[in-house]
Structure 1
């Protein structure tokens, strides 16, 4: 595995009179990942990243946009398959100010360049949040911070490049000086200012090294869609991995939005067969991790489908949302109940559900975590069933279902699939010490039902 390193990059550019900024021309090595660290005085803006003709064909993907504070911070990436000479990158925010720093990172994973994500809000001059614990050795943290007060000079004990856009905003683009030394290494990031009353909005991502694996880590936040439009295979890849199959008429919506910004997806015709599928999934096994953010409305009259895992010869497993708000997980379509969650999903609120399947003949398992605080690191319920033999053959398709019924519906957001437990899309914002929930609930085993 090659280590992530950084090639020469253009100077940070900013403007307090125009929402459009363009970098100086720079060269890009073949296979490099471009990491656009974007800032704006206003939080809820649209970040549009483009290039000159040299970069024709590059596809930019928004990895993170902050939802806390007043200012805007976002991180957008693309990969250059071939070397580029004389590239310029332009950011447009639709407001009267913008800031852009583009990092040129070598040996970042070509399929899933970003692992964990953090967005935070701080009101101290020396803001050093713990952003995440490293997924593996060799990952690298990069981020951007914007101070809404616009009343000081920014700096960082990490590697940073700062700007002062007058009274509009101040900010800094930051990366660590070294990669993570081990799995679960605590990664913090420093954002400092001389301003007396700062209001930091920050976004940080974990860049993943190219370890040669071909396992896809699928993610879709739906934020690249259009409010009110029907989701399709063609329009579903704006901020994530496009779906290979769409059944029914799922719709992008801003009616209920995880974190208060962006879009989620809903079925406008409850009771109709509606689901979004990632097909031809390529994971090495035996682990298959799934993440769903669910906003439940009403109570099902019986049970409604939420998730399905399909193999080459049939259904491996299905998960249903029951009338008591809990999940029942089955082997096959609904032949054998193997696990039930211990706490109900809340009504009219977001929660996070994570599943991890072990597909191994005679030694298979399924685990389910429920998080009533959707971005929490502390689960409210954990269940496990072991000693399972899954039908259906090796997993090939995952389906996220939205049908609902006459008495219930639900919204989905920030869906993900990976080769292990996925974790939250954004780690909890922390300006102090998080209060522990206490002892974790005991595991429920399938044999007790």
Structure 2
């Protein structure tokens, strides 16, 4: 497994988080202290838990003082630690998200991350490497993508992110929309590869079953990293590293979760009809996520981890379309940006900002993903099928029902009928292209 966090010191250029009032300058990190100090920080020491910070390491400057020189490093200054950041974090509570640069400096100091000088940066201009995301191992893998371009059709690599013990979900996908994927590929030759992507398990029985599953199907990539909820962002980094190593010439990566049903015909329409220029190749495509962080429950994040009252714009994780040209910039952003547990916020929000990649959200009557809010068990009619590229399903049974409806429509067993002119009705052929539009 890649060693993401080593040593405890990092060289950074000086930076200031601009607020009002006094400035607490600690190493290279400058924070405003908005609550009354009453000379407290000017005393001989600050005591927090078992730590004591001497005045020689902590100075209070007025706003007009100069910043520390650029060649200073954290080993010349005070070592930041979690206790101090927990002490300071309330001053940032419920303030606006300040951007990826400020987030990075805050999280690097809070976590005590270090620069990994032995790791070659993919893009040196992104800053010092703090996460080793290019040294992952894959004990189970599929063959690399063939390095052949298809001038007639754009190519897609389809990856289903799964958990080690989700055997039934993987089998349902193989029985349903993956069969459509193979059918469409025979006609359009657009598929560069298909795989389930999962991490490692500590359960030997489960691991043996995964190895047997791969012998039968040959469609699994396993990352040598413990597959846990807290490691989801690391898992995504491992996926992008595999793509960088093995599928460098892809036009699109279609990344879905294992509880998503895919309308493969609409995937083909998207890949072939979406304008593919410099602008789209610097974008990713999906639907917007929730921009306000929860503070409790499964999706909760503490104020100490994320003191701000909003996330950057990001995409709901179950379905994201990723142009191949964004793989290296995003992987470079993973190298240089501290991780949070929520992979969708991390890679489609924070890291896209770092890499200068635009998040383009579905608009209009069609969309990349239907979350099926309020209708978790309702199967769409044939006309409804045309509106979405994928659906988040709650059960394998619902995925099978969606497949039956989709299969019937695309094999002319059912029709999509819409109102025409003068009270007439119009039949929409399943071969009529569907266009997707984005903000």
Bigger relative CO (Cα 8 Å, ≥ 6 apart): 2
Query: Based on CA coordinates, which of the two structures has the bigger radius of gyration?
Result: 2
Specify the TM-score bucket, using the shorter chain as the normaliser: under 0.3
TM-score (norm 2): 0.26
Answer 1 or 2: which has greater helix percent: 2
Answer 1 or 2: which has greater strand percent: 1
